[in-house]
A and B are shown apart, each in its own frame.
Chain A
């Protein structure tokens, strides 16, 4: 039990600076790609989603100081559980609703055309 009392979730200056620099890069590149249209839309979409996932992890580790030791690992456990729930809610909703959309009864306009 004493382990949870020793944790100091302040982080270090080094962690904050590394996190900030990485975030700047991971934010600037997606904005630059979309605003200039340097690459094909599909490539751009894949890259900016990947960058967002990486940036979320960078923030969680460098700013929120989630690691295997904080609160005896319970913060990491709660984070992983929540990440799974978030993925299920978002991916599941999109998957189901698009399938329902595809299987909808034809509307009057669809019948007429």
Chain B
């Protein structure tokens, strides 16, 4: 019989060694997966309301596919330029990292700029979020993605300052890897947007 006063036979004297931030990557990945669920609900809403035009314009009347193609190209190229930044990071080339981050940021800014231009044209044509349930769902979905890209650019600029001050130390490398996942994740969401919203909408 063991009693409460009896001492255990052995102890684990050493705490298991954890690097600081060792679980950050997995934690950030799980954040991205929860973000994917937010987008899933927005896609579902868009799908349910995809023919609730309320007498307003239909996707075929308002979408400019060439503009969407340019935007898609910008985001796709920004994915590979961020990849080049990660390659430069692996080789410890600080200037290479900064150069590719700047290119990535400019491509992202071009994407957001074109999207804002598209939105302004739509609003000017009278296709506002208030026009129909369809357009409410459209603006919510696409603008949520655009807002994510905007915050990605802000994060990218912050990283440029941190790299300028402290260089490629392990913490900055970890932050760059998280931003890499965030950026590539946004490109994946955009695949869903251009396929289901724009291409299937115009078809």
Does B bind A? Answer: yes
Interface residues of A (CB under 8 A from B): 1, 4-5, 7-11, 13, 16-17, 19-20, 23-24, 27, 30-31, 34-35, 41, 44-45, 48-49, 51-52, 55-56, 59-60, 63-64, 71, 74-75, 78-79, 81-82, 85-86, 89-90, 92-94, 97
15 contacts between A and B (CB under 8 A): A5-B19, A13-B83, A16-B80, A16-B83, A34-B202, A44-B203, A48-B199, A49-B196, A52-B195, A63-B83, A64-B184, A82-B33, A85-B37, A90-B44, A97-B48
Task: Decide if B22 touches A4 in the complex (CB within 8 Å).
Answer: yes
Identify which of A16, A20, A35, A94 contacts B44 (C-beta below 8 A): A94
Looking at chain A's contact residues, the main secondary structure is helix
Interface residues of B (CB under 8 A from A): 16, 19, 22-23, 25-26, 29-30, 33, 36-37, 40-41, 43-45, 47-48, 65-66, 69, 72-73, 76, 79-80, 83-84, 86-87, 89-90, 177, 180-181, 184-185, 187-188, 191-192, 194-196, 199-200, 202-203
Task: Decide if A31 touches B29 in the complex (CB within 8 Å).
Answer: no
Task: Kindly list chain B residues whose C-beta atoms are within 8 Å of the C-beta of A56.
Answer: 188, 191-192
Task: Decide if A59 touches B203 in the complex (CB within 8 Å).
Answer: no
Task: Decide if A20 touches B79 in the complex (CB within 8 Å).
Answer: yes
